[in-house]
Chain A
Amino acid sequence: MAARNGDDPVPGDEVLANDRSAIELAADVRAGRLSALTVLEQHLAAIEMREPEIHAFNTVLADEAREAAMAVDAAVAAGRDPGPLAGVPVALKDNLCTRGIPTTCSSKILDGWKPPYDATVVERLHAAGAVVVGKTNLDEFAMGSSTENSAFGPTRNPLDTSRVPGGSSGGSAAAVAAGFAAVGLGSDTGGSIRQPAALCGVVGVKPTYGRVSRYGLVAFASSLDQIGPFTRTVADAALVTEVIAGHDPADSTSIPQPAPELSGTLDDGVDGLRVGRITDLPTGADPDVLAGVDAAFDALAAAGAEVVDVEVPAFTYGLTAYYLIAPAEASSNLARYDGVRYGLRVPAADTNTMYMQTRAAGFGAEVKRRIMLGTYALSAGYYDAYYGKALKVRRLIAADFARAYERVDVLVSPTSPTVAFPFGAKTENPLAMYLCDTYTIPSNLSGDPAMTVPFGTGTDGLPVGVQVLAPMLGEAVMFRVAKALEDRAP
C-alpha cells in the first residue's frame, strides 16, 4: 500500500506465519507440521520490531503466551485434541477480564486492578487452544473512534502510522493488521469493532446482541455492547465466532442457543440472494468510500445477487439516540469506580471528597463528558425528553430494519464515512468524532449483526471497508455475503 511507512519490517521466514490465516496456522499446529511455540515466536518477533512504533498493546504477555503455546504443543504430542484454534495468537482488547492480568480499559481509574476471573470469551479461547499474546489499547472505556482517548497514548495505524487505527478497539485492529496476532477480540458498542477493522483493512464482526457472552467484558453500555473478532479473512472470523458464541448462563442476556454454524456455508455464494441498498442512508461519506460500496454492489450483482433499493427511515436518527442511550448506561456502569474497593483512590478527608477527587483524576475528558451527558439524560424532569425519547427511536430503528428484511436478505453500506484519518483531525470536535459511527450505530441499537470486510482502497491507497448488515441471528447469510465480497475484492 502506497502510504505504508517504511518497508515491511517482518522479513524472511517470519512472514510465513504472520501473513497466514488462523485456519492455516491451526491446521498446521494440529497436524504437528508447525509448533505453536514457533508460531508464537514469529509473532512476538513482529511485536518486538514494530510495537514501539504502533503501540497496539497495553500489556504483552510473552511469558504466559509461551507457556500456553507449549501446552498446545504438548497436547499435540500426546495425541490430544488441542482445539480448533490450536496455537493461534490472539490479541485481547484490554476491557476483557483476564485472571491475574491487569485489565485497564486504558483508564487510570483501574490502576493496579487484576481481575480474579477470566471473561467467558477468554475461557472459550483458551479451551480452543488459542494463545493470548497481549491486551490491546483502546479509547478509554471504549469511548471513542480513534484510540486517541487512551490514558496510555494512542495506537498508530500500521498501514500509515501518521493516521489513527480507528476505535475504540484500535489496538486489536492494529495488532491483526500488523501481524502481531492472527486474531483480535474487540467490543462493539456503536461500531468499535467494525470501524477500526475498516480503517486497518481487516475483517471485523459484531454478532447479534446476545450471541456472545458479555460476562467479563467491562461494561460501557450494557444493552449495546457485543464482543466480536478481528481477523485477516472472513473464514477466520467465522471460525472465531463459532468458538466464542453460544449461550452462557453467566450472562442473562445471552441468547439460549448454541453457537451458529458458519464455516460450512461460507462458500454457498450469493446467487439468488437479495441485497439491499439503503436509499435514505445518512449523507456524509467520502466519495472514495461510496465508490467502494458501489463496486461491492456491482460485484455481488455479478455473482448472482439481486440488488434491491430499500428505505430504513429511522437509520438516520441512530446517532442522536445512541448519544443518549449509551452515555446514560455508561453513567451508571462507571459509577462503581469510586475508589472504595479497587483501582485508583485519591485519599481525602471524607468519603464524598475522595469520590470526587478519585473520579476527577481517574477519568479522561471524553469519559467525563459522557458520564455528564448520561447523568443529565436520566435526571428527573429530563428522562422523558431525552432517554425516554431515545428508547422510542431505538424501537423505530429495529422496526424499520425488520421491515427492510422482509424484502432483502442483507443490507450493504459503508462501514465508516472515511478511510483512516490523521491524528488530531477530530479530537477538537467531539461531534465530528461521533459521526465516524453513523453507519455502524444503528445495528447496535437494533441488536442485529453486522460486519465489515475490506473492499479495495480509497484516498492515499488506504483500505475501504464495506459493511454487511443482517437480520437478528442472521450471521450465516451475513458471512456468505462477506465471503463473496472478499473473494471478489479489487
Chain B
Amino acid sequence: MTTMQTGASEASPQRDGYELVVGLEVHVELATATKLFSPSPNRFGDEPNTNIDPVTLGLPGALPVLNRRAVELAMRIGLALNCTVQACAFHRKNYFYPDMPKAYQISQYDVALNVDGHLDLPDGSRVGIERAHLEEDTGKSTHMGGAGGRIHGSESSLIDFNRAGVPLVEIVSRPDLRSSEQARAYVNELRAILTAIGASDAKMEEGSMRVDANVSVHRPDEPLGTRCEIKNLNSVRSVGRAIDYEAQRQIAMLEAGDEVRQETRHWDEGDGRTHTLRTKEDADDYRYFLEPDLVPLEPEAEWIAQVRAALPMLPAARRARLAEATGAPVGGEAVGVVVERGQDDYVLAVGAAGGDLARALVHVKEGYAEQGTAPVVPAADLAALTTMETGRTLTATQAKQVLAELVAGGGGDPGAIAAAKGFEAMDAGALETLVDDAIAANASAWAKYEAGEDKAAGALVGAVMKASRGQADGAAVTALLRTKRT
C-alpha cells in the first residue's frame, strides 16, 4: 500500500463488513513498427507465421537486438504514469511452453525501467503504480479439438509466432483499488492515457491490452487477505464482473470458515465464474537470471528529458482544461466523452473562433457521436451557430437541426441553413402576443403559475411552442412568463 490517501476506502462499498482489495497487472503491446528484439513487423491480423525471423523463432545462434523505439514508448508510459525512469537490465524468465520459442521470455526482474508512479482516477482517487517494465510477448496457441479451446484435452495445437517478440509493457498497480467500479475506471483511464500518448492502441478485443486482476478481501481492521490472480479478462466489463464474482466467492469461503488459497484463476465469460487454473504449489520456478545476450539499458538523462518534453497533455489535464473553459463539471459525461474522443481541442477552437464554449461542448458531444473523432465542420461555422443560439435567433432544437446539416455538408453558413429551413427568429412583439394568447387560453394553468407553482409553466410554454410550430425559444418564453407574473 502506498502511504497516500486513496480516498477510495471510505467510498468503497463494503460487503458484509469485508473490504475488497484489487491490484491490476496490465499488459500493453507497444505501437512500434518492428518487434522488441528483431526487425520483423509488429502487426496484428497478418497471415499466421509471416512476421517471423531467426530471432523471433529462437533459432540456434540468433541474438536479440533491443528496439530503441520500444524503449522510448515504454519511457513515455512511465513518464505519463509519473514513474521514475531508471537504468535497468533484462532478465530471462525460464519456462517451457510451446508458443515460447526460446523457452524463456526476455523480461525485467528486480530492476524495472519505470517504478513508483501513480495514476489519478476521474473520481479523484490516486492509484499507485509499482512498476511498468518492458518485455517480449509470446506466440499465440490455438488448441484444436477438446473442450473450451484449452490445451488440456485438445487434440492438437497450432502456433502463430507473429506475436512472439512483440514489445509489451507490463504495468503493475499497487493494491489500491477498492471496488470493481474503480478497477474499471482505472482500466479506462489507463487506456485513455496510452492512446493519448501514442504508446499503444490498447484494444482489449484484439489483445493489445490485457488485464489480470489480483483480488482479495479482508475486514478493514485486519491484515490483507490471501489474493487470487484472475486471468482471461477480455473486456472492461469482464474486469468488473470477474472482480465482483471473485469477491463474493472469497467472502463466502471466509464466512463458511474456509481459507482462501493463493491461486491463479480463469474467468469464464460464459458461466460468469472464476475457475482454478493453477495453485501456488504448481507455480513454475522461473530461474530468473541476467540476460547475457543484452547489455544493461541505461537511458541517458537527456533522452529521458526529451521524451518527457514531447509528452502530449494527458486526459486528466485535458478534462480539467475543457471543464474550466466550458463551465461543465470536470467529472461530467460531456467532458469525459469529448476528451476520450479527442475532440476537446476542437471545442476550444470553436471558443477561440468566438463561439460559445458551453453550447459547443453540447453540440460536439451529441452531434459527433456517430461521426468518429475528426470534426468535419470548420470551427468558425460551429462558432457562428452557437452565437445564433446565444443571441436567441435560434432555439436549441433548431440549432441541433442546423448542426446536422452542417455535419452532413462538412460545414457551411448556419445563418443560410436556418433561413432555408424557415427558422426565422421571432421578434419580441410576436412572441409576446403568442404568450398572451396562451395565458388567455390556459387560465387555470396561469392561475397556478401565478400562485407560485412553477411546474404549471410547462403547459403554457407547450402552448406557445405549439402555436409557433417550434420556432419559439423556450428559454425566452419562460423568461417572459416570469416577467408577467411579477
A residues with a Cβ closer than 8 A to B are 96-97, 103, 105, 110, 113, 115-117, 119, 214-219, 221-223, 249-253, 328-329, 331-332, 335-336, 338, 340-342, 351-352, 355, 375, 378-380, 383, 387
Contact = CB atoms under 8 A, between A and B. Distances in A.
A378 B287 contact: yes
Among B57, B66, B288, B292, max chain A CB count under 10 A is at B292
B271 to A, nearest CB: 26
B104 interface: yes
Interface stretch (B95-103, B344-352, B384-392, B412-420): B95-103
Can you list the 9 inter-chain pairs with the closest CB atoms, starting with the nearest?
A: A335-B103, A223-B292, A378-B287, A222-B292, A218-B60, A216-B61, A97-B61, A336-B58, A380-B285
A351 B98 contact: yes
B60 A113 contact: yes
Contacts of A342: 59
Nearest to B66: A252
B87 to A, nearest CB: 16
A379 B285 contact: yes
Given A331-B287, A332-B287, 5 more contacts: A217-B61, A218-B61, A252-B294, A332-B94, A355-B96
Contacts of B64: 252
B254 interface: no
A217 B59 CA distance: 11
B285 A332 contact: no
Contacts of B57: 341
B292 A253 contact: yes
5 contacts: A103-B60, A115-B59, A116-B54, A378-B94, A383-B289
B231 interface: no
Interface in B250-290: 285, 287-289
Nearest to A116: B54
Contacts of B101: 336, 341
B289 A387 contact: yes
Contacts of B96: 335, 338, 352, 355
Contacts of B54: 115-117
B317 interface: no
B289 A251 contact: no
B293 interface: yes
A117 B96 CA distance: 25
Among B58, B66, B94, B287, max chain A CB count under 10 A is at: B287
Nearest to B161: A341
A342 B471 CA distance: 77
B110 to A, nearest CB: 12
Contacts of A355: 96
Contacts of B443: none
B159 to A, nearest CB: 7
Nearest to A110: B60
B136 to A, nearest CB: 14
A332 B102 CA distance: 8
A252 B102 contact: no
Contacts of A351: 98, 151, 157
Contacts of B58: 336, 341
A331 B63 CA distance: 17
A253 B289 contact: no
B295 to A, nearest CB: 6
B33 interface: no
A56 B58 CA distance: 29
Contacts of B63: 214-215, 250-252
Nearest to A341: B57
A311 to B, nearest CB: 29
B131 interface: no
Contacts of A219: 60-61, 293
Nearest to B98: A340
Contacts of B311: none
A335 B289 CA distance: 14
Contact of B60 (A97, A251, A379): A97
**Range, interface on chain B:** 20 to 34
B287 A215 contact: no
A237 B429 CA distance: 107
Nearest to A218: B60
A116 B292 contact: no
A279 B96 CA distance: 47
B19 to A, nearest CB: 32
B65 interface: yes
A345 to B, nearest CB: 12
A352 B103 CA distance: 13
Contacts of B289: 328-329, 332, 378, 383, 387
Nearest to A359: B96
A343 to B, nearest CB: 9
B159 A340 contact: yes
Contacts of B210: none
Contact of A336 (B103, B285, B292): B103
B66 A336 contact: no
Contacts of B66: 252
Interface in B50-107: 54, 57-66, 92, 94, 96, 98, 101-104
A438 B219 CA distance: 61
Contacts of A331: 94, 287
Contacts of A218: 60-61
Interface string B151-185: 10000010100000000000000000000000000
A49 B253 CA distance: 79
B287 A379 contact: yes
Interface string B439-477: 000000000000000000000000000000000000000
A186 B2 CA distance: 54
A116 B295 CA distance: 26
A222 B293 contact: yes
Most buried by A among B94, B159, B293: B293
Query: Interface centre among B63, B64, B295, by most A CB within 10 Å?
Result: B63
Contacts of B92: 332
Given A97-B61, A103-B60, A216-B61, A252 B295 contact: yes
Contacts of B102: 335-336
Interface centre among B58, B61, B62, B96 (most CB of A within 10 A): B61
Contacts of B104: 332, 335
A217 B293 CA distance: 12
A312 B287 CA distance: 32
Contact of A119 (B61, B94, B159, B285): B61
Nearest to B103: A335
A99 B55 CA distance: 15
A23 to B, nearest CB: 29
Nearest to A254: B63
- Among A214, A222, A332, max chain B CB count under 10 A is at A332
A215 B151 contact: no
A251 B54 CA distance: 13
B155 to A, nearest CB: 11
Nearest to A214: B63
Contacts of A113: 60
Nearest to A391: B290
A329 B292 contact: yes
A250 B63 CA distance: 7
Contacts of A383: 287, 289
Contacts of A253: 292-295
Contact of B61 (A215, A335, A375, A379): A215
A355 B97 CA distance: 10
B61 A116 contact: no
Nearest to B159: A340
Interface string B353-377: 0000000000000000000000000
Contacts of B295: 252-253
Give the one of B104, B151, B289, B295 with max A CB within 10 A: B289
In the complex, which of the residues B60, B66, B102, B287 has the most CB atoms of chain A within 10 Å of its own CB atom? B60
Contacts of A110: 60
Contacts of B65: 249-252
A117 B56 CA distance: 14
Contacts of A332: 92, 94, 103-104, 287, 289
